[in-house]
Chains A and B, each alone.
Chain A
Amino acid sequence: MGLLTLAYVILFVSSTSTMAPGTLSFGAPYDFSNYARFADDAILKGVVVYTIVYSIFVTAAVLLLAFPFCYAIVRIRRKWLRSLFLFVLVVTFFSGTITRAYSWLIVLGKRGPFNDLMLQLGLIDQPLSLIYNTTGVTIALLHYLFPYGAFVLIGTLKNLPEIYEEAAQDLGAGRLYTFIRVIIPQSLGGLGSAWILVYSLSLSTFVMPLLLGGGKVVLLSNAVYREVELNYDIPYAAAVAIIFVLASILTISLAYLLGKVVPRVLANRALASRA
């Protein structure tokens, strides 16, 4: 914990320093000119906003896919089938990010197995361009984030007593009605936690856009990296990084508050209409 705080302190101090022109060192004068520069930097501002909005969509997609999947897993009766699904989920963790990114490059490539299959089935006339663009990044990112969301949701859903579903069925509700009216309202807590985890990971993603984006997909971490590697403007990069950390904290806190406030509002409205 202490080390982490120290790192942030160093980062902050660096952000207020200035690059000595023509050299590789930075130091005085210490001021907030880097932050001012950011305010005028349309491109980087755009990247910050894009990263935040993009991450919202990606997180929503991950949870939308993971939730029914996890529900199915915890309700499977055959032990071997459930273990198989869990095994598949865990195995994806064992391959590192870079390995996975390159695997997607191979699978989704113009002459890769996916395009081959689609061509053979006659579903397309020409191979689809699925890599070195946002599509490729999104597919790889969804695949990467899925297990994180899934594990949190499986934890929540596993603790949901089956008796509520039995009660709903007993009163005439089919599986879908029960899922929407009973399961989801009681899983909001878990969904909130899953959101925060997946969203944070998505905001900070670096490898997927880098390897699958073909240089065209620039998320915040990539932008900061460029400032450091290409422009070698460490103070500016540090400033941007700090701004991003603040922006992330802001959006995550918003999500957290929403998770607390919305159920309360709905409950009050329900009470008021029945009183």
Chain B
Amino acid sequence: MTRDFNGGEPDCILRLSGITKSFGSTEVIKSLDLKIDRGAFITLLGPSGSGKTTLLRMIGGFTAPDSGQIIINGKQYENLPPEKRPTSMMFQSYALFPNLTVFENVAFGLRVRKFPRREIDTKVHEMLELVDITNLKGRYPKQLSGGQRQRVALARSLVIEPDILLLDEPFSALDESLRSTMQLEMRDIQKRTGVTTIAVTHDQDEAMILSDHIALMGNGRIVQYGIPTSLYDFPVDLYAAGFMKVENILNGRIDRVSGTGAVFTMAASSLSIPSSEDDAPGRSVAIGIRSEEIRIEGCSQPETASLGENQLIGRVAEFYLKGENVLLRVQTEIGFLETRTKRKHYNEFRDHPVLVTIPSESVIRLK
């Protein structure tokens, strides 16, 4: 293919347009578009069934899209098999060839490309050093631990210098203690080699640690795309808020709009919230509030307390200890609210009624 599809976007290493995919009667991907810049670390985040793994496999060439284009470095690849693509996949189970040693596994891609023996030797040793497994080069996969296998798989994919590295749930097979170490190492290796990486995961924290951008997927579409903090602080809709674990979601109506914001009503209570376009009196809206944004303090005389803007009286219904924090489920006139506070602080007002404050700027508008 000699046609250049990038036209003026030299940094765009991957462009997906109009991708659709169905398996039988199930629509797994519904008209998806995505652009990724060179050197970025992107995560496709979502629950099982969101289509993220299917999308990854389509980029790698293991599944063909029903329609749409996959353009890598300006060339079209949607009709080409994996061996002709400048991508490399690290599979969830690592798929190390059991009959080959670590060295031979890593050398595989270079041998296929008929690199001279000396060059293979150099490159493989360099890569083994990068992922820190030089001492394992003569071992067989079945003699390695999960973490070691992962490094071999990574080395094997990186040594052929792919344009795009694809990671399929890279840390799901590791136990918790190993996970955080490997995540940071992976990030470090990615930065050092500068390889564009697309990872798939269902773990929100993992996505936040690793990525430059996150594509939150749901029902075959990209629900939200942005830097990790924008997904965390400003999820766009109910689905995104739910997935990003916004604890409090409230449904109500707009009462009135003013210059500074809007007034949200629900069950005879009102809250000041940030205004949004299309706000009109009577309109149904949903809002989200993170537990850590809700302020809580003891209230010794709830009947006579003077309530400011966005303040409610409540009663602690349940509490859970979590490290130095206490998670609280507070009953208020707008329903149960989840909030949290330091344990020391909680001890000051436990068993008392509480005063809950919801800062209006912390309210998240959801579509």
Contact = CB atoms under 8 A, between A and B. Distances in A.
Interface of A: 161, 163-164, 166-174, 177, 181-182, 185-186, 267, 270-271, 274-275
Interface residues of B, number: 29
Nearest to A271: B138
Interface of B: 60-62, 81-83, 87-89, 91, 93, 95-99, 101, 103-104, 108-109, 112-113, 137-138, 140, 156-157, 160
A167 B60 CA distance: 11
A173 B81 CA distance: 11
A139 B97 CA distance: 38
Given A166-B62, A171-B108, A274-B138, A182 B97 contact: yes
A174 B101 contact: no
Given A163-B91, A170-B83, 5 more contacts: A169-B81, A170-B87, A171-B112, A173-B83, A270-B104
A261 B103 CA distance: 23
B98 A274 contact: no
A161 B62 CA distance: 15
Contacts of A173: 83, 108, 112
30 contacts: A161-B95, A163-B95, A164-B95, A166-B89, A166-B95, A167-B91, A167-B96, A167-B97, A168-B97, A169-B61, A170-B60, A170-B82, A170-B88, A170-B89, A170-B157, A171-B109, A171-B112, A171-B156, A172-B109, A173-B108, A174-B83, A177-B112, A181-B108, A186-B99, A270-B101, A271-B138, A274-B103, A274-B104, A274-B138, A275-B138
A274 B157 CA distance: 20
Contacts of B109: 171-172
Contacts of A185: 99
B117 to A, nearest CB: 11
A268 to B, nearest CB: 11
A107 B78 CA distance: 49
A64 to B, nearest CB: 21
A55 to B, nearest CB: 29
Nearest to B156: A171
A99 to B, nearest CB: 43
A138 B95 CA distance: 42
Q: Which of B93, B95, B109 has the most CB of A within 10 A?
A: B95
Contacts of A182: 97
Nearest to B111: A181
A274 B89 CA distance: 26
B98 A166 contact: no
A172 B83 contact: yes
Contacts of B91: 163, 166-167
Q: Which 6 A-B pairs have the closest CB atoms?
A: A171-B109, A167-B95, A169-B82, A185-B99, A172-B112, A163-B95
